[in-house]
Amino acid sequence: MALSIVLVLTASTSGWSQQPPAQPRAAIPRFPPGPDFAGVAGSAAERVRIAALCGPNRNADDGYAPAPAFPGQTKAPIVRGTQGYAVETVAKIDRPWGMTFLPDGKMLVSFRNGGMRVVDRNGAVSDPLANVPQMVQPRLGSGMYGVILDKNFVRNRTIYFGYHTRLPGDAVAMGRIVSAKLSVDEKSLEDLKTLREGADIQPRAMVQGRDGTLLVLSAGLSDAGPEPQDMKSQFGKVLRINTDGTIPKDNPFLSRPGANPAIWALGFRDVHSAVIHPQTGELWVAENEPKGGDEINVMRKGKNYGFAQVSYGRQNSGAMINGGKTAQEGIEQPLYYWNPSIAPSGLMVYTAAAFPGWKNNLFIGGLSGMQVTRLVMQGEKVVSEEKLLMDRCQRIKVINQGPDGDIYILTDQMPPDQNEILRLVPARTIPTPRVPLAVPVASATPTGPGQDPATPATPAPGALPAATPEELALGGAAFGRVCAACHGAQGAGAIGPGIAARTDTAFVADIIRTGEGAMPSFASALSDAEISAIPKYVSRLPR
C-alpha cells in the first residue's frame, strides 16, 4: 500500500516544461552553496571531490557537539546501501514547493505564488488551475504551501491547502487553512472555504490523521522567540481542527485559561514536512532549528517539544539558545538530531515493494544539506544513516512515494528555473555520479595561505553596478545592521561565506529577499531600497 505523504510548502507558478532525459551538466553556482559532508562515508579524496563539485560546505562542522540525551540520538553510523536505483528527470520546473498524488497517479503540484498544476508520470503539465488564490508579494515564510487530498477524495473530490500572505483588502498578512473541491476535469478549484485563519498561523505542513482531523503545523520562525511556548499564539504549534474548521472536543488544552483551543502540541520552530506513520498512525515531523539541531520528532497530543527553551542547535548568529540548554523536565526529546544542519524538507516512510532494500526506512530531503538522507529504523531508534544524491548538488524540497512505488523528488534551486521533478526507479546497480567532477583529486590541494580547495574562487569581476553616493551609504548602513555579523564587516566571511566584490547584484538581492536554507529572509526587516542598495555596496568591497 502506498503511503500518502503530506507536504505543505511554499511554491512558484512560473515555467513548466517537459524535458528529455537528464544530461550531465556543470554545477549551478549558488549563494551560499554546498551540502553538509560531515560523516560522509568514503575516502577523504571522495569528500574533497564532492566539495569541489558542489561548492564550499555551507554547514561546516565547527565542533559544536552537545551531548545527546541517549545513545543513538545523533550521528548514527554512516553506511553505503546496496539497493540499486537510477535517477530519471520527469520535468524541468520553476520552484514547486508542494506535491501530492491523485488516485490515477498524476501529481497535483502547488506553487509559491498561488498556482496549482497537474503533471503526469511522463512530465506532461496542465495549464494553471482556475480559482486558486493568488498570492501578493510572496516571500520566505509566506505564499502558497502544499496541498493534500481528503482521505475520501475519490468520493468527495476535496483537497486542503494552506497559505500565508497579504491578499487584496487584507490589513495584515494572514495565514489561512482552506478546503476546496478539484473539478472532475482537473482544471479548476470549486467551493473554496476558509477553515481557519489568523495572523499567527503559518501552515507550512499539513496531514490528515486516521480519525479524519487535520493536523496543521504552524511555524514559529524566529531564532529564539517566545511564540512557540505562548499558549495564546498559534506560531510554533500543531493545530488540530475538523474538516469543517470546528475544534475537536478532545483537543488537549480546551480547559486551560487563555490557551488557543486549536493547539494540539507545541514548541517547534519550523516544520516543512510531516507524515502519518503507516504502522503506528502517529504524527512524525522533520524540524528545522536555526543553526544545527535539526530534529526528527514524533508529535503527541498535549506534549511540549521545547523550542526555544531547549535546543541542540544555536541561533544563526552562533549564540546559544537559552544558554545551550538541551533538556528540561516536561519537554520531549527528539528521536534524532543533526549537527551541523541539513535543513530537512521532505519526509516519507517508504512502504512499497519497488525498493525492497528500503522498506520501512525513513527518507528526509535536505535544503542546505543538498541530499536525501535515508534512516534505517528499528521502531523509534535510528540504526544507521545513508546520504543519497549528494553529487547532484540540488536542494531537496519534497520527497514522496508514488502510487507506482517509485520515489519522486522536487528540487528547490537558485536560480529557480533550474528545478526538476526527479524520479528514483529500481535498477541493478547503484548509480555513479552523473555530473563530471569539477576538480581532479590530484589537483584538489590548497594553493595559497588560507585557501580551501573546497571553496571556489570569488566570481569573476564584472562591471560595477551603477550606484549613487546616497545608495552606497544606505547599503553600507543596512549591511552593517543585518549582514556583517555573518559575512564579516568587509564581506570577507565569518559564520557565512565571503561575499565581497560580487557583481551579480540581482541574484544577491533575491537571496536577501527570500533567504536560502539556514539564512532567513530579511524582506520584513529591510526596505526595498535597502535590499537594492546592499548588493551595490557589496560589489565595491575589496576582495
Per-residue pLDDT at 160: 99
| Location of C-alpha cell 503527541 | 300
Closest CA to 192 of 259, 131, 267: 131
Per-residue pLDDT at 52: 57
Beta-bridge partner residues of 386 = 374
pTM of the model: 0.73
Per-residue pLDDT at 230: 97
| Location of C-alpha cell 515564510 | 141
Closest CA to 295 of 455, 500, 69, 10: 69
Q: Say which amino acid occupies 360.
A: N
- The answer to whether the bond into 32 is cis (omega within 30° of 0) is yes
Q: Say which amino acid occupies 152.
A: N
The set of cell numbers assigned to 394 is 540540488
Question: Which stretches does DSSP call E strand in 342-459?
Answer: 344-349, 362-366, 371-378, 381-388, 396-401, 407-411, 419-426
CA 229 to chain centre: 23
Q: What is the pLDDT along the chain (543 residues), one digit of tens a residue?
A: 333 333 332 232 223 333 333 333 333 222 222 233 333 444 455 555 555 566 654 567 788 999 999 999 999 998 887 789 999 999 888 778 899 999 999 999 998 878 899 999 999 999 999 999 988 765 555 788 989 999 999 999 999 999 988 877 777 888 999 999 999 999 999 999 999 999 999 999 999 999 999 999 999 877 778 999 999 999 999 999 999 999 999 999 999 999 999 999 999 999 989 999 999 999 999 999 989 999 999 999 999 999 999 999 999 888 999 999 999 999 999 999 999 999 999 999 999 999 999 999 999 999 888 899 999 999 999 999 999 998 888 889 999 999 999 999 999 876 667 789 999 999 876 665 443 322 222 222 233 323 332 333 333 345 788 989 888 889 888 888 888 767 777 888 755 678 888 888 887 887 887 766 456 677 767 888 999 999 999 998 887
The set of cell numbers assigned to 229 is 511556548
Burial group, residue 287, by CB count within 10 angstroms (0-12, 13-18, 19+): buried
Helix-strand-coil split of the chain, %, nearest 5: 15, 30, 55
Rounded Cα distance between 502 and 191, Å, is: 49
Per-residue pLDDT at 14: 29
CA atoms within 13 A on the CB side of 9: 30
Query: Domains of the chain, with CATH numbers?
Result: 17-426 (2.120.10.30), 457-539 (1.10.760.10)
Quote the radius of gyration of the chain (alpha carbons, Å). Answer: 22
Rounded Cα distance between 121 and 489, Å, is: 50
Phi, psi of 417 (to 5 degrees): -75, 5
CA atoms within 13 A on the CB side of 177: 32
Dihedral-angle region of residue 234 (phi above 0 means left; psi in -120 to 50 means alpha; beta otherwise): alpha
Per-residue pLDDT at 375: 97
Per-residue pLDDT at 464: 85
